[in-house]
Structure 1
Amino acid sequence: MVVKQLTLGAMASNCYIARKNNQVIIIDPGDMPKTIIENIKQSEKVLGVLLTHGHFDHIQALDAVVEKYQCPVFISEQEKDLINNPRLSFYDGVINSKLTYINDNFKLGDFEIKVHHTPGHTKGSVMYQIEDHLFTGDTLFDSSIGRVDFPTGDINEMQKSLDYIKTLDPDLFVYPGHNRITTLKRQLAINPYLK
């Protein structure tokens, strides 16, 4: 699998395009749909969009991407209330895309997707693991973590999620919602929130 990072919009949110056998999954299309679409080849089939959580800076390009590729959208069932409420998601648009609420691991084409539930930044935050790639959204950043003072955020839940992350394979590559790509091994060594 090959992963392309796109840093998009005023919030510098990371969108990822995961490719395997001419199949594509888009993770967190936060902004600038034209840029996302330009980075997908006509010969590639977009199988779906994965959302790590429902904040505006991870979903603003969602409807345009789904309209273009007519693909399903996956998000934690625990995020249902947040993504459908502008006061909680901070998104003043309307999500027209049909959402598929997930709780368990699933498969899309050649992609085996493991869902790690990591509440804290939001109640329904998840990380997606595909092979040795871990898409952490706003749960884990390089040397930091996501805020817990937004609606549905919870510092106690975040601590439980961080304790869980410490049990994962340290050889995983970490693809955060903001900032640079890193490894779990590096974060276990330098991230003060994982001590």
Structure 2
Amino acid sequence: MPETPLQPVIETRTLGPVETNCFLLTVPEGEDPTGCYVIDCGMQPDPLIQLIRERELEPRGLLLTHCHYDHIGGIEELFEAFGPLPTRVHPIEADWNRDPMLNLSGMSGWPCVAPQPDLRYEDGAALDLLGCAFEVLHLPGHSPGSVGLLDRSGGTLIAGDTLFAGSIGRVDFPTSNPEHMKLTLRRLLELPDETVVHPGHGPATTIGTERVENPFLLDLDRVY
């Protein structure tokens, strides 16, 4: 019989002034049960740091869905707590952490200059996260380098600021692109209905729920 794929445990902490969802990924049944990955560390990451310490976990890396300030503002604090971590981002946004205009902190009132990511990932890349296979999906629209992290075997998508419960990511920023967002949403609609979506803001949902309830998916012309 084929081996049952390992199932990751994804825990959410909602952090910072704009309530950004940050994720801690562990695989308790895997070969590295004390390892973890942080996905989007947000701003004011103390609760996330405390959780990692309480569990006596060892971060193996930081994965960024995109480089807006509310998703990267706590990187320096995270690194102060655990040392510099290998950090992945889509190459389009490789320089955004140090540019307050691109990461939007310059227009937010919280100017942010964060450590630069040292690793890249492209659309379709396979990631081995503690023994679990994830696929990188390039999902531009909200920002040009937005990505999702898809566990096909477990039916889980960490979606960043692309798809929310009942809504979608904003496309009115200087580097947003509504037409790209429409293509991204069409791509997400190709996923199975049972796929659980962990968004960058708000509660988790499923592709099936959003397919029938999300006004932006029901009428993509609303995306502008």
Q: TM-score range by the shorter chain?
A: over 0.9
The residue number in structure 1 matching 2:63 is 50
The residue number in structure 2 matching 1:27 is 39
Contact 1:53 1:122 in 2 (8 A): yes
- Match runs of 1:108-123 below 5 Å: 108-123=129-144
Bigger relative contact order, structure 1 or 2 (CA pairs below 8 A, ≥6 apart):
1
Q: How many residues align?
A: 195
- Match runs of 1:1-195 below 5 Å: 1-21=8-28, 22=33, 23-40=35-52, 41-70=54-83, 71-91=85-105, 92-103=111-122, 104-130=125-151, 131-195=154-218
**Identity of aligned pairs, percent?**
33
Give 1:67 deviation, angstroms: 3.4
Contact 2:165 2:205 in 1 (8 A): yes
Matched residue SS, 2:209: helix
CA distance in 2 between counterparts of 1:63 and 1:113 reads: 26
Matched residue SS, 2:23: strand
Give 1:44 deviation, angstroms: 1.9
Unaligned runs of 5+ residues in structure 2 are 1-7, 106-110, 219-224
Contact 1:8 1:14 in 2 (8 A): yes
Give 1:31 deviation, angstroms: 1.5
Unaligned runs of 5+ residues in structure 1 are none
One-letter amino acid of the counterpart of residue 79, structure 1 = E
Give 1:155 deviation, angstroms: 0.4
Q: How high is the TM-score relative to the length of structure 1?
A: 0.93
Give 1:68 deviation, angstroms: 2.5
Deviations 1:5-25 (A, max 9, x none): 111111011111111132211
Q: Which has the higher strand share?
A: 1
Contact 2:139 2:145 in 1 (8 A): yes
Give 1:98 deviation, angstroms: 3.9
Is the alpha carbon distance of 1:85 and 1:126 closer, same or farther for their aligned partners in structure 2, counting shifts above 3 Å? same
Rg (Cα) greater in structure: 2
CA distance in 1 between counterparts of 2:116 and 2:178 reads: 31
Give 1:112 deviation, angstroms: 1.8
**Runs ≥4 residues deviating over 3 A:** 81-84
Q: How high is the TM-score relative to the length of structure 2?
A: 0.81
